[in-house]
Amino acid sequence: MQVPSNITPAEMREAIRLNFTLSDIWRFARGSFRLVGAFAALIVVFFIAFVHAVAQSPVDWGTLGVYLGLAALPALLILFKFRQTSGKYARAINKASMTFAIDGQGITRMHPNGVRTAVPWSALNRWREGDLVFTIGGTSNYNVISKAVLGQMQTGELRSILFAQVRGDVPGQTLGSLPTR
């Protein structure tokens, strides 16, 4: 089965969400040190203002709302940065314009310049299926295959290949498709 690697930013966001681990939070925090530091400082300021407001008998809801808004701003910036990053990854994958060949041996990535990279099924330890994509591989290094480029029959064929070929962490146990919600 030949599958092009074109994906949209929304599909990339889903792929990242499907493979998200707690170590990703630490990796993101290291990359966004200033933003995370500002977020932590505003949470501390909000907590102090909240304790101060509760200690007084009349609560100043306006000031409390301003502090809450300031605390929410970094969270919105983090979400914006995540959306930018996923779009950047999707553009990079589309620019590479690879084609995946999926068969009984494994996955072969075919680049336009003729380079082929074969990954046998034994080297792949898991796969995930979402509403928009399949991700095949580990949590930090995985291939993203869009369901939009597959027909319904090819989606079922790919799913059956993955169930048969990709093994989980426990020997002999298939991870298969995990729920997305």
Amino acid symbol at 136: I
Extended beta strands in the chain, E state? 2-4, 99-102, 106-110, 116-120, 127-129, 133-137, 142-146
Flag whether pLDDT at 177 surpasses 50: no
Question: Going by C-beta distance under 8 Å and a sequence separation of 6 or more, which residues neighbour residue 168?
Answer: 125, 126, 174, 175
**What pLDDT score does 25 carry?**
65
The pTM of the full predicted model, rounded to 2 decimals, is 0.61
Q: What is the pLDDT of residue 176?
A: 47
| Distance of alpha carbon 144 from alpha carbon 137, whole angstroms | 9
User: Which residues are paired to 141 by β-bridges?
Assistant: none
Q: b/e per residue, 144-158, with b = 16+ CB within 10 A?
A: bbbbeebeeebeeeb
pLDDT value of position 104 = 84
Tell me, what's the pLDDT at 56? 67
Whether 181 has a pLDDT exceeding 80, the answer reads no
Higher pLDDT, 4 or 23: 4
Q: Which residue has the higher pLDDT, 173 or 60?
A: 60
- Tokens standing for 66? 């301003």
Cβ pair 18, 135 in contact under 8 A: yes
